[in-house]
Structure 1
Amino acid sequence: MVSNGTNGMNGTGVTPPRSFGGVVGGLIGLAATSAIAGLLVTVSLTPVVALTGVAATSTINVFETLPNYLEIEPLAQRSNIYATGPDGTPILLATLYDQNRVEVGWDDIGQNVKDAAIAGEDPRFYDHGGVDLQGTMRGALTTAFRGSVQGGSSITQQYVKNVLVQKCEMLPTEEEISDCYAAATVTTASRKLKEMRLAIGVEKKYAKNDILRQYLNIAGFGGRVYGIEAAAAYYYGSTAADLTVAQAASLVAIVNNPGKFRLDRPASETNGVANGYLDNRQRRDYILGEMLRYGKITQVEFDEAMAAPIEPTIHEPSTGCQTAGANAYFCDYVIHVLANDPVFGDDEDARIKNIRRGGFDVYTTLDLDLQNAAVATMNENVPKTRAGWDVGGVISSVEVGTGRVLAMTQNKDYSQDPEVQATGSNWSSVNYNTDFVAGGSRGFQPGSTYKVFTLADWLNTGHSLDERVDSAPRSQWGTFNDSCFGPQNYDSEGWSPKNDANESGRNYSALEATIGSINTGFIAMAKRLDLCGIRKMAEAFGVHRADGEPLSQSAASVIGTNEIAPLSMAVAFAGIANNGTTCSSIVIDRMIGADGTEVPIPVSRCEDSVLPETQRQIVAALSQVMSRGTAVQSNTGTVPWVPMFGKTGTTDNAKDTWMSGASSKVATVVGVVTVTGNANQRAINFESGPAATARHRMWPAVMSVANAKYGGDPFPGVFVTPPAVAEEEDADVDVDEDVDADQDLGGDDTEQNDPAPDVPEGTD
């Protein structure tokens, strides 16, 4: 910020001699200043009316043409992001700022601070009309005859200068900021005259206490610390109201020259001897002497303060999402949501700047009960790194009916610093749960969890769960209907998808194909549908590619070859649970501005995705996946149990494994994915067990907490079988005895043989 002057020393305590030219220059400056001073004599006599009644001289005319209006405006303040704690109270996740400042009111600033500021910077503050004539003349004389720069600026003038610099820092480009700053701080008589004129204008409009309050709020205290409240917290772990006399004087000393007198630098040395905070002490002791001189403290208080050592206890403020620990990726997503909201500016850069300076309190949807469970089970089941495999783990939970994101975590440590990221694959700035434009990856193939959209389109177009299809594996699938791009022929492409357990493919019903996750069954269902319709059904549930490209609608996409963000799939499953009405995700419950008023926030958009009867049939089928299909282990591991439905997914060669499902209250998607490279999870063991079944250990851990906190209602018109009953029933379909291994994509690499255009790996 701004240095408000020095004590005229060169650092050695000796005033350097003036040259003849320097003295002459000083005299010229004195003459110019004297002309101003002559004008100010009149001003000082009538501070309330300021310039009214002054004789019309050329100097006065120049003075009167200068601007005299300066608004006391809100200052740049830090913004805070909160989650919801276990007892419902807000818990701070992260603080964002360009300037570490907390603006406080008059009653929140202790008298010690007010007295130190006035005694040290402007003893006649309550007597002059914005410009201290005595101080100005003293400064001119000192500058002219001693060669040291003596500011002589009143507190009001210092406030004006700081306001002008603040306005510079709000400009959009570095060049504009630099030019503005130079104009606001250049040492010229014209700049000083403008500053005086504005100071008089401020004094005419605002009360003295308001000016002093804002001066203490705007002043720089070294580095990125601004305002007395943040300074008290940073240097002493205290508040502006509770500072001792010695502490107050030491902090006010910094304002005079923030670079020289700050208290967070190592002790300097003279002749090899550490002198502690000698510079600050000298200025502090001067202020204490002035406080005694003007009767602000007693002799006893003065003696005690003078004897007090300079002992700052630095409390580093947290800034940015990296301070949010395991919640950092959710925090990062919140920032991206705000950066895309036009409420905060015309473009992303302007929005980020406004957020970092606006003093907002952002209360997010993150539920720390659910989030802590997600983080704990992730740490227990998926390592951050593994030799030969860049493994990723993801969990996203969404509240049904509102779109509120309740949990979001992954198996990496968050950092935006490339040097930190270079130290190991445990570090990443990429949020695997979200879209690329929101700080996420380019998505992951969801495998058989994507089959729910073919099932939805099947039922929504009048087909039934009992209807059977010829699901035998084959290399010639013939022509598929596509109302968007025209008929698609798969006879000559050499595309021959198989089933996970190499089932022969008898005439499965749609229900049997769903329970057993039969690839060829769903491809045969798609032949009776419209590939474009299946794609549109996925979009109706809020699903889209994470990289922003259009969803593929090839026959292979039916079994999950589009790269999609896990959060998108969680939104879709929440839509199924919400009677077929999908609500877009939101991460902010409310925002409060620095002035205490509510700020408009992004809201969830809810749209009907399928007919109510279709939704009931989807839930009926997916609930049996939980009770006697590929998701039994997730169902039996959830305590307390409520009615739930779900779908597993495994991509080619078990590269990625998924468990997605929901109760009537919460939807959760869990995945173990390959960030880069290739790995067959069925051949890999973690400390917690097989990699391929980690999803069945994590999903119940999260949903157990969700069920205990949010409960779960029966789905209308659907009877969901509890796990204990399901274990006693005989399955109606042939399901692999090892229910840990999905009957999803088989030995052929469906992605490589997908006749659709090549798609990138699900990583970034």
Structure 2
Amino acid sequence: MRLSADDRSSRSYRGTAKPAPREEPRRNKSTKGGGGGRRRGRRRRSLLGMLAYWMLVLGVWCAIGLGGLIAYHAAQLPPINQLTVPKRPPNIAILAADGSLLANRGETGGRTITIGEVPPYLPKAFVAIEDKRFYEHFGIDPIGITRAVVTNLRGRGGMQGGSTLTQQLAKNLFLTQERTASRKIQEAILALWLEQTYSKDQILELYLNRVYFGSGAYGVEAAAQRYFNKSARSVTIAEAAMLAGLVQAPSRLAPNRNPELAEARAKLVIAAMAEQGFISQASAKTALVAPAEAAERVGAGSVNYAADYVMDVLDDFIGAVEGDVTVLTTIDTKLQSSAETILVDSLAAQGAKQGISQGAVVSMAPDGALRALIGGRDYTKSQFNRATAAKRQPGSSFKPFVYLTAIERGLTPDTIRDDSPVSIKGWQPENNTRTYRGPITLQTAFAHSINTIAVKLNQEVTPKEVVRTAQRLGITSALQANPSLALGTSEVTPIELTSAYATFANGGQSVLPYVIREVKTTTGKVLYARKGNGFGLVIQPQPLSMMDAMFHETMTSGTGSKVNLAGWEVGGKSGTTQDFRDAWFVGFTSKLVTAVWLGNDDNSAMKRVYGSGLPAEIWGKYMKTAHVGMQPSPLPGGLWHGAPRSIFDGAPVAGGQPPASTQTADSDRAWVPPAPQERNFLERLFGG
């Protein structure tokens, strides 16, 4: 049976109410097409809703991704609860005897300094140019980042960074300098930690002590010393602005390399400081009118030799350095500068002509306190310290140890010895003049550096005894006990030869050279303070008086007569080695003992340079300058003036009888050798 359309409709809705017939919407003739507009509006709202929805979804996923990214990079860092600011490498500030800074040693180049120590405008200069919202943000500055991005997109004013001072500190403390997204994320995490852990002033203080300023200077104190030769506590507004501007590009903006760029950058800093109210307009104008200038670097020259020597011996006194320390030395800045200038100028004027490339000067007080230490001609070209480390043959400047050994065994300056040819197992040393004077006194032989007499005395007293005498006076280098020892063929360093001569200048007391007086921490705790010196008397008064008389004769009529100091009791001795490889002059007064060495590092020969020549000239110029304003004073041991003549009693000299031709003249004995006594510490130590 076929159903009608109504019947099919009724069956389809069986059990439910039949829906009412749909009515056609009424159209308002006055709003033609109004229904279509509403449909389009609903579609627009639907599209906006969908867009908002998907943006929300995208934002959620971005947040999740960012959170995961942050979590991943945070996991690469140490646990936050274990995070600590790395300890700053210690600085060793080396001071001259007057307290002025000679040099800084250590990785940072300067000591730690607090905000309270520096002028208020110094830290504010960094805030003004690097992070003007420093006191407002929480370690990351969204406003600053946005501003930097906009500026960079516009391409105006050069590329800008959005890193805060806190982020820069985080990078310096914990991270490398690589430019990667990973590092920037870790930098931001660490910046937030720093802000939660430290106050703003503490963060700024850490920053000022850790940021790099170029030329090996880490921290504002090191930079101030490096570029302006002054402490950060004393910088002007102009200098503070130049330092603050420098951190953006230390190598490019260094005032000693690119003063124009450094000054231009400093002007921007000054303007920013004035704009933000950190300094007055008047102060800004003053700073702009008188810009900062990099000073000539103090410490670029010879003081570094002294500073290096301090570092060589510092461990012996305080061990490992755990924090910043200050080392007070014995170095006199005026004497150091004078010695350097005279040596360098002399070599510049005569070095090339005479075949001399290097030199060294050691000057000390008679108690061993180093006043000047010049280890070479130019520290920037060679850091090898010839004053303390170069072992060179001393030539005739070693002869005093031979003569002292002989005098301690009964001879006097008036003792006669024969200047004549000598041959020892085929070795035939000659005098410089290759002539012979015949019988002469020891004093004359010493003053004119007669080789044959020194060699004969060395044989009389035995080379082994001469070695013991030299060691007793402070020579620590290995000495060969052979006939040529008398002519200074065993190598020594300038500093040990100077300290040995100091014994003749101080009344016969043992001398241990020293350069450190005191070591303190920055809080004032004394880690070391010098007490005492040496091992007591090592030359008895009578032999000392005789030796000083012979030294003095050298300066009045011998090889040192051209450089004698008027009004002073002066002793000295020249030294020249075979083929003119080394030339020395060592001399002393009651106030100062100084040695000058000239030669070549490769041990090549100079052009007939004698110790009585250019070395003596340098010694004389320096000593005259050093003694200006001092009241002349005699040598502590006094000068022996001879004794009544008597007939030689025939007593043998250690090492054998004097030559038969001179026995009748050996009667000038002014004293009797003391009876053997218990050996002192040095004699036991060195086998004397």
The reply to whether TM is greater than 0.5 is yes
Comparing 571-580 with 464-473, greater Cα deviation is found at: 464-473
Q: Which residue in 2 is equivalent to 1:31?
A: 64
Structure 2 residue aligned with 1:318, among 291, 294, 297?
Answer: 297
Q: Which residue in 2 is equivalent to 1:454?
A: 402
Change (3 A) 1:640 1:114: same
Q: Which residue in 2 is equivalent to 1:750?
A: none
Could you tell me how far apart the structure 1 residues matched to 2:248 and 2:628 are? Answer: 59
Matched, 1:518 2:467: no
Q: Which residue in 2 is equivalent to 1:585?
A: 513
Q: Deviations over 1:644-682 (max 9, x none)?
A: 333344445777554433233322334565763243358
Q: Which residue in 2 is equivalent to 1:543?
A: 475
Contact 2:214 2:251 in 1 (8 A): yes
Matched, 1:416 2:380: yes
Q: Which residue in 1 is equivalent to 2:588?
A: 662
Structure 2 residue aligned with 1:495, among 428, 445, 462?
Answer: 428
Change (3 A) 1:395 1:382: farther
**Letter matched to residue 213 of structure 1:** E
Structure 1 residue aligned with 2:394, among 441, 445, 451?
Answer: 445
Matched, 1:66 2:66: no
Contact 2:336 2:372 in 1 (8 A): yes
Structure 2 residue aligned with 1:712, among 611, 615, 633?
Answer: 633
Could you tell me how far apart the structure 2 residues matched to 1:117 and 1:614 are? Answer: 69
Q: Secondary structure of 2:465's partner?
A: helix
Structure 2 residue aligned with 1:404, among 369, 372, 384?
Answer: 369
Change (3 A) 1:603 1:499: farther
Could you tell me how far apart the structure 2 residues matched to 1:443 and 1:363 are? Answer: 27
Report the alpha carbon displacement of residue 253 of structure 1 after superposing the two structures with TM. 6.7
**Letter matched to residue 588 of structure 2:** A
Report the alpha carbon displacement of residue 558 of structure 1 after superposing the two structures with TM. 1.0
Q: Deviations over 1:242-276 (max 9, x none)?
A: 766x99788767657778998876989xxxxxxx9
Q: How does 1:468-617 map to 2 (within 5 A)?
A: 472-475=420-423, 477=424, 490=425, 493-498=426-431, 500=433, 502-503=435-436, 505-506=438-439, 510-511=442-443, 513-515=445-447, 517-545=449-477, 550-591=478-519, 593-595=521-523, 597-598=525-526, 600=528, 606-608=534-536, 610-613=538-541, 615-617=543-545
Structure 1 residue aligned with 2:114, among 105, 109, 116?
Answer: 105
Report the alpha carbon displacement of residue 457 of structure 1 after superposing the two structures with TM. 1.9
Matched, 1:365 2:314: no
Q: Which residue in 2 is equivalent to 1:641?
A: 568
Q: Secondary structure of 1:321's partner?
A: coil
**Letter matched to residue 335 of structure 1:** D
Could you tell me how far apart the structure 2 residues matched to 1:663 and 1:609 are? Answer: 19
Structure 1 portions without partners, runs of 5+ = 1-23, 40-57, 166-179, 269-275, 323-327, 418-427, 478-489, 683-690, 722-764
Contact 2:463 2:485 in 1 (8 A): no
Q: Deviations over 1:541-563 (max 9, x none)?
A: 22255xxxx22221011122233
Contact 2:393 2:577 in 1 (8 A): no
TM-score by length of structure 2 reads 0.64
Contact 2:343 2:359 in 1 (8 A): no
**Letter matched to residue 405 of structure 1:** L
Contact 1:516 1:625 in 2 (8 A): no
Contact 2:395 2:489 in 1 (8 A): yes
Q: Secondary structure of 2:607's partner?
A: coil
Q: Deviations over 1:377-423 (max 9, x none)?
A: 884698342336336665433211x212234559x741433xxxxxx
Q: Deviations over 1:334-365 (max 9, x none)?
A: 3134135326998xxx99xx9xx957465442
Quote the sequence identity (%): 19
Report the alpha carbon displacement of residue 566 of structure 1 after superposing the two structures with TM. 3.4
Q: Which residue in 1 is equivalent to 2:21?
A: none
Q: Secondary structure of 1:332's partner?
A: helix
Contact 1:446 1:564 in 2 (8 A): no
Q: Deviations over 1:624-661 (max 9, x none)?
A: 634775257258x422223x333344445777554433
TM-score by length of structure 1 reads 0.58
Contact 1:102 1:229 in 2 (8 A): yes
**Letter matched to residue 489 of structure 2:** T
Q: Which residue in 2 is equivalent to 1:339?
A: 312
Could you tell me how far apart the structure 2 residues matched to 1:344 and 1:121 are? Answer: 43
The alignment covers a number of residue pairs equal to: 575
Q: Which residue in 1 is equivalent to 2:183?
A: 187
**Letter matched to residue 627 of structure 2:** A
Q: Which residue in 2 is equivalent to 1:754?
A: none
Could you tell me how far apart the structure 1 residues matched to 2:308 and 2:414 are? Answer: 47
Q: Deviations over 1:13-71 (max 9, x none)?
A: xxxxxxxxxxx99987643555899x9xxxxxxxxxxxxxxxxxx99999995335435
Higher RCO, Cα 8 Å, sep 6+ = 1
Report the alpha carbon displacement of residue 539 of structure 1 after superposing the two structures with TM. 2.0
Q: Which residue in 2 is equivalent to 1:17?
A: none
Contact 1:471 1:520 in 2 (8 A): yes
Q: Which residue in 1 is equivalent to 2:352?
A: 386
Could you tell me how far apart the structure 1 residues matched to 2:225 and 2:552 are? Answer: 58
Q: Secondary structure of 2:573's partner?
A: strand
Change (3 A) 1:625 1:240: closer
Q: How does 1:211-250 map to 2 (within 5 A)?
A: 211-220=203-212, 226-227=218-219
Q: Which residue in 2 is equivalent to 1:163?
A: 173
Report the alpha carbon displacement of residue 234 of structure 1 after superposing the two structures with TM. 8.2
Report the alpha carbon displacement of residue 193 of structure 1 after superposing the two structures with TM. 3.6
Q: Secondary structure of 1:414's partner?
A: coil
Structure 2 portions without partners, runs of 5+ = 1-56, 643-688
Q: Secondary structure of 1:679's partner?
A: coil
Could you tell me how far apart the structure 2 residues matched to 1:680 and 1:211 are? Answer: 64
Report the alpha carbon displacement of residue 455 of structure 1 after superposing the two structures with TM. 1.8
Q: Deviations over 1:287-329 (max 9, x none)?
A: 987x4xxxx579x969x989x989965526727533xxxxx1x
**Letter matched to residue 513 of structure 2:** S
**Letter matched to residue 81 of structure 2:** P
